[in-house]
Structure 1
């Protein structure tokens, strides 16, 4: 069974060249389209960005064959297709960009390696691992030839390769690449550089996927120590390390240490952003979930109630983030057999999800499944059966 950690590992691997250039009256039409497209892309206005990038590509098609703006235009248009899950439209654009970069730049240029990685990442997103792996391997080879075997830029390719291999549960091969990435980074930066934190986290998550907590935990402790030295003991920069380590300690069976870290993360968030900031919801939910797993429902309940109130104030009563917390609080009441308190929260979560996501969405099916469990516990078998029929229809069509 695939583990979810490598999805996060790959999330930052796309190297689309999205960046804003300075605006001025002397810009060419191509530059204006690219700049507008970049701004719209960063704002999440993908349809409009797509129009600008398509116009830039049309301009680039008129340039000389060796002009690097053509593969750049192809890559940018592919990026917006990828962001919308339009993989079939992105693939030919990236294939063409790879071929053009190889012709224009040569097969030992880091930008050629980047175009190979872009195409590989597209295949990875579709779980076409057999297509992604050789492209990532070639990208690593190109960058090694261009920069040397110890250059820190190689760590991106090594991370990508590890992600593909881990997705296929080839953990030993993935470990080799992540250990090399860690060694290269440490040699280039020293033992306390913040850039080591990501490398340590990736390796720890790989060990966690194999339930090898004895190897994972020291890596996360080192990452936390580096972040503490860099940012200070009360900085939001510690939050990722604190949560990662707490999660690992829970899995190892060390709940007392995990609780302390989760409380520390919550305190830092509240002190940094205020008691009503939505960023607090994640910490409240994590600590509540910890208490739920420990059977300490009375400690979890006020945390979820606070999270619900924060989301309501920030996003309004009908937002899907409100539905998520309402569902979690309802489940907590359900586990305590407080069915009268759970039911209106399930009702509310269901109504919001149907309104915001549509009645046939898979999340609606999951909410319905929770509601069915409550109906059965309260001896309403006919109502439960109707909802089960609806769940089956949603899952069949999704």
Structure 2
């Protein structure tokens, strides 16, 4: 081998060679040359330049390593032992020797630069980056200087910890615990981004976890400043990275934004959840890797579980896979979208979706159909429902019973009337004049249940109908234990007869299992319900409803092709029924849109949602809440495809329809307004964002208890809106309010306090720059 001269004339080749050389030094000696050969298979000039650096490194017996002798003093510190090395330099454990107090630190000494002034600039940049950030999950910089040989060094806090992947395995963390730990990483990255810094080298080795479970993000040696005043920020040809954890645009040498870190974070989360790298192939060169990653999204994490790498037994694999399938799959794949606009716009948006997953709330990564979002919404609804809403809901239950029974023979009409009379009496018992206070739907249901055996003695099928209706109401109000009791009694009463009415109860039990995270049980119940549906028109109508619900379940676990088949089958059945309303057809069409979105067929998904909306709007009395749900789902797809302004328009209309349907004081509008405020801020519409945030604050006392962490989360959203508008004082005020809520809360999800802390004392000048970044 006759390598080229290491002082390469072409600056771009020299920079790329140094970057690749530094990546090679992360490997053991025997793997370095094969790695370089593979990475430069289609670029002989780059290969020769990189191999020249590697040969010079080997011949010099450490000339490129700082390698100061043990016991050497740097500034006021004495080197004790080497604790790490890599392409950017060597890290030493050191002790303070100035006599003030004893302290162990980590000192990173930059590798020899071969006369490259850019390496010196990077060392100084790392010192400045770290000095500008004060965050509990980022290793603090303490000091800095240069050795007698001119090698820069940085003195940092010593982190006694293990890489995050190894720590998760040692602690035998389950998926939820791993997600909670990962939220600390997102908090650190968000703090860096807020200081206009892209890390560019997020990987397990740069994320340590202490014995106390505290994450520390390390090594900003190749971080990039977003500050336009940094002349080095836009320099071409420089590609510092670890290829396995690099974004498509980073591999291709394109300009970088914070979205590049979002991709690397997705790779890290994928590895924490599966034990393996996201991309299965190992291309021969960097250019081949860049082409592959730019055109391929990884498989779902739930399909990649490596039990040995995760340290779990094969018996746990099925449970592990079930825990991460569905929404968590979609969250990871959204972060790993090859196209920048489809990724999360910020670490906060990424964290928000993970927190929603932890709380069983709808996630933005999976817009889903009406059944998915409405089910998630009601599943999390812990609020008492007022008397007016109780009347509406109870009437809806009664009417649904009547509608079902009207499809039967005329002699069964009396049964429907008797069921409706019972439900009407239930409303009467909820009269606020009788009880002396505004009642709730839950109270009305609780009062009605004890009367059921007396009211329907000797009428098991009628009792089953009423218990089913009340069980559905409990289910929607998140009283799952009460729902299960009523639905199981209804199923027992119906089992002997079987048939379509039994299928209807099984459908409700399946939804209960689904909302409880028991996906396999839910699918089994749905499929049993399908088997019970009879061949008459009533049976086929119920079959279409079960298929529609099954479609939503399959979408939620990422089985979108099957979900699409089920929804299309439901639509085709409804097309043959004389009694199907246009509204029912529109709901199925919306679920088709959800499945298409899950398959990445975004244009078709948007078209399906628009078709559903057209049907809703054509009705004499358009169902406003159905329209609002479809508009919300449409907004999610529009945001996924980078059409933020269109997404905002859809969400604005969804809020307007909700207000029209249930009034401006509907408590859960608080969350929708806060989300809309953040989207406004993302578009730079700060006055609109402020107004939406104010509306969220107005409704928040109705939506949340004073010590509910959700109240703190809303305060953080308002603080972020204030920060984007340049009002650091107001942002700090709401961040402190959030911290007070978190301190009083019964429990707080990991990373929540850190988000509020990160907002405190942000300089006003920095907030002006925040307007330019995505902040969902």
TM over 0.5: yes
Residues 229 and 117 of structure 1, relative CA distance in 2, 3 Å threshold? closer
1:169–1:239: structure 2 CA closer, same or farther, 3 Å change rule? closer
How many angstroms apart in 2 are the aligned matches of 1:249 and 1:18?
A: 34
1:359 aligns with 2:752: no
Q: Partner residue of 1:49?
A: 445
The separation in 1 between residues aligned to 2:466 and 2:726, in whole angstroms, is 59
For residues 191-245 of structure 1, what are the alpha-carbon distances to aligned partners after superposition, in whole Å with 9 as ceiling and x for unaligned?
9934332112112122223433122111122223333433699x88854444433
Name the structure 1 match of 2:598.
209
Residue 338 of structure 1, CA deviation: 4.0
8 Å CA contact retained: 1:346, 1:367: no
Q: 1:119, CA displacement in angstroms?
A: 2.3
- Cα–Cα, structure 1 residues 292 and 211, in superposed 2: closer, same or farther, change >3 Å? farther
Structure 1 residue aligned with 2:398: 19
Query: What SS does structure 1 have at the residue aligned with 2:398?
Result: coil
Distance in 2 separating the partners of 1:125 and 1:41: 28
Tell me the residue number matched to 2:558. 169
1:116-135 mapped onto 2 (5 Å cutoff): 116-135=506-525
Per the alignment, do residues 350 and 31 of structure 1 end up closer, same or farther by CA in structure 2, a change over 3 Å counting? Answer: same
Matching of residue 142 in structure 1 with residue 466 in structure 2: no
Aligned with 1:9 (options 371, 375, 378): 371
Give the gaps of 5 or more residues in structure 1: 22-29, 379-398
1:98 aligns with 2:491: yes
Distance 2:485 2:670 in 1: 42
Tell me, which stretches of 5 or more residues in structure 2 are unaligned? Answer: 1-324, 328-361, 379-392, 402-418, 432-438, 764-776
Tell me the alpha carbon deviations over residues 52-106 of structure 1, each in whole angstroms, 9 at most, x when there is no partner: 312323665xx44x64244346546655764665545654553343232132xx2
Confirm or deny: 8 A CA contact 1:53 1:73 kept in the other structure: no
User: How far apart are residue 127 of structure 1 and its match?
Assistant: 1.8
The residue that corresponds to 2:408 in the other structure is none
Cα distance in 1 for residues equivalent to 2:713 and 2:621: 33
The structure in which a higher percent of residues are helix is 1
Normalising by structure 1, we get a TM-score of: 0.68
Structure 1 residues 177 and 335 mapped into 2: Cα distance closer, same or farther (>3 Å)? same
Contact 2:693 2:721 in 1 (8 A): no
**CA drift at 1:288:** 3.0
Q: Which residue of 1 aligns with 2:190?
A: none
Q: 1:312 to 1:80 in 2, by over 3 A?
A: closer
Check conservation: 1:140, 1:157, Cα contact below 8 A. yes
Q: CA deviation at 1:373?
A: 1.4
- Count residues with an aligned counterpart: 356
Tell me: CA distance 1:259–1:132, structure 2 relative to 1, closer, same or farther (3 Å).
closer
What's the RMSD between the two structures over aligned residues? Answer: 4.8
CA contact (8 A) 1:41 1:49 kept: no
- Corresponding residue of 1:25: none
Which of the two has higher C-alpha Rg?
Answer: 2
TM alignment of 1:123-272, pairs within 5 A: 123-147=513-537, 151-188=540-577, 193-230=582-619, 239-262=628-651
Distance in 2 between residues matched to 1:225 and 1:99, nearest whole Å:
41
Take 2:509 and 2:657, find their aligned partners in 1: how far apart are those partners?
Answer: 40
Once residues 140 and 254 of structure 1 are traced to their aligned partners in structure 2, the CA distance between those partners, rounded to angstroms, is 39
Does the Cα contact within 8 Å between 2:728 and 2:761 map onto a contact in 1?
no
Give deviations 1:158-180, integer Å, cap 9, x for gaps.
11212332233222211111011
Deviates more, 1:337-346 or 1:240-249: 240-249
> What secondary structure is seen at the aligned counterpart in 2 of 1:19?
helix
- TM-score, normalisation: structure 2: 0.38
Cα drift, residue 32 of structure 1:
8.6
Q: Deviations 1:248-302 (Å, cap 9, x if unpaired)?
A: 22211234544554566677788x69xx9446867754543333334x2535533
Conservation of the 8 A alpha-carbon contact between 1:277 and 1:310? no
Q: Residue 371 of structure 1 aligns with which residue?
A: 756
In 2 relative to 1, CA 195–353 (structure 1 residues): closer, same or farther, beyond 3 Å? farther
Structure 1 contact 33–55 (Cα < 8 Å) conserved: no
Kindly tell me: are residues 299 and 249 of structure 1, through their superposed partners in 2, closer, same or farther at Cα, counting changes over 3 Å?
Answer: farther
